[in-house]
Amino acid sequence: MTEPSKVIHVRNVGHEISEIDDLFLRQLQNDLLQLFQPFGVITKLVMLRAKNQALVQMQDVPSAVNALQFYGNIQPSIRYKRLALIQYQSRQSAVMARSTLQKPGYGDSGNMYAAQGSGAKTGDNYFKLLWLMPNAAAIAAAFGGGLPPGITGTNDRCTILVSNLNPDRIDEDKLFNLFSIYGNIVRIKLLRNKPDHALIQMGDGFQAELAVHFLKGAMLFEKRLEVNFSKHPNITQGADAHEYVNSNLNRFNRNAAKNYRYCCSPTKMIHLSTLPQDITEEEIVSLVEEHGTIVNSKVFEMNGKKQALVQFDNEEQATEALVCKHASTLSGSVIRISFSQLQNI
């Protein structure tokens, strides 16, 4: 059997799609993107208007496979239409499908997509950039079938106000390291007239809700954080706002569904990944020991890649280690740190 490709063929997209207006077409495009974005980066999406179908190209084959497997158990629907999904089983058929995607998109690393404009012809495509929103059903599946208690999934406010920060020890990058656990960060602004306050704009309302829910009351630098939704819909670009929208350190550019599954309140245990292959437990301990009392640690290998667990005496120490050492460089590798929900090593 030939191996699958990253192109997914979606049928039964809409009734008489060739006759609908451009606004409704864009709504259909957004609905499709919401279905597939939690499984990985979407590099191209083309609406086949004459056939009531669409082609969705994921960045890699595993993302396409995960989407097909998930929707094999849950029938997806958009605009009251039930869809039929096909993953191409041969390279030749995938190449033929991609022939309609001739012009490369201008999309970035996962929060944007390249969509064929309505009325464009093959070989003369034009593209628009649109912001992706998560799909609640797929995200609920990532959490084991339902959203965590206290999470509604209906919030549409993207900007968060964080207060009671320690102004002597906090900066934008440290806030990014913490809040990026719950979603992609657009920009962060420390308030000059209130040095213990900051605004953080998340990628969408659901990610903002996760951050507010899981970080409210967390301890950082001997301060208990107050985390709430801001009255401001977004943060205005400017010299006093740090941009992160194109940062390759944003955690949800790939494997979004997997990252949602790991969202939790701060714990005593941190998980370190993207480590150098020759890393030792002593080097890991040396990297983070300044941030608290280490109870236990372990270096292990999974899928041929070195990873580590470090257990601190309390959640505040683990949070400080994550905030200060995530994205630091060790022997040429950029270290990724997240909270682990394991109780013990």
> Tell me: the pLDDT tens digits for 266-325?
999 999 999 999 999 999 999 999 999 999 999 998 888 999 999 999 999 999 999 999
Quote the distance between the C-alpha of residue 17 and its chain's center: 31
> Tell me: the pLDDT tens digits for 197-215?
999 999 989 899 999 999 9
Residue 123 lies in a domain: yes
| Alpha helix positions (H), the chain | 22-36, 61-73, 91-98, 136-142, 172-179, 205-215, 256-261, 281-288, 315-325
Do 273 and 325 belong to one domain? Answer: yes
Do 113 and 163 belong to one domain? Answer: no
Mean pLDDT estimate for the chain? 80
Q: What six digits make up the tokens of 208?
A: 């903002």
Do 250 and 273 belong to one domain? Answer: no
Q: What six digits make up the tokens of 345?
A: 């090593």
- Of the chain, the end-to-end C-alpha distance in Å amounts to 41
- CA torsion 45→47→53→57, rounded to 10°? -10
Do 128 and 144 belong to one domain? Answer: no
Of 262, 316, 265, 320, nearest in space to 287 by CA: 320
Do 250 and 274 belong to one domain? Answer: no
0.75 exceeded by pTM: no
- The whole-number average pLDDT for the span 10-20 is 62
Do 100 and 145 belong to one domain? Answer: no
Domain finish residue from 113, 132, 151: 132
Do 238 and 274 belong to one domain? Answer: no
42-48 and 159-163: which strand pairing? unpaired
Residue 307 lies in a domain: yes
Q: What percent of the chain has pLDDT over 90?
A: 46
- CA torsion 266→268→271→275, rounded to 10°? 120
Do 291 and 332 belong to one domain? Answer: yes
Residue 152 lies in a domain: yes
Of 318, 330, 265, nearest in space to 293 by CA: 318
What domain range is 24 assigned to?
7-132
Query: How many structural domains are present in the chain?
Result: 3
Do 17 and 125 belong to one domain? Answer: yes
- Secondary structure class of 88 (helix, strand, coil): coil
**What is the predicted pLDDT for the residue at 102?**
38
- CA torsion 64→65→66→69, rounded to 10°? 120
Domain finish residue from 199, 234, 261: 261
Do 170 and 95 belong to one domain? Answer: no
Do residues 250 and 180 lie in contact, with contact meaning Cβ atoms separated by under 8 Å? Answer: yes
Residue 1 lies in a domain: no
- CA torsion 278→311→304→143, rounded to 10°? -150
* Count of residues in the chain: 345
CATH number at residue 122: 3.30.70.330
Q: What percent of the chain has pLDDT over 70?
A: 74
Domain finish residue from 196, 227, 261: 261
**What is the predicted pLDDT for the residue at 208?**
95
Do 146 and 206 belong to one domain? Answer: yes
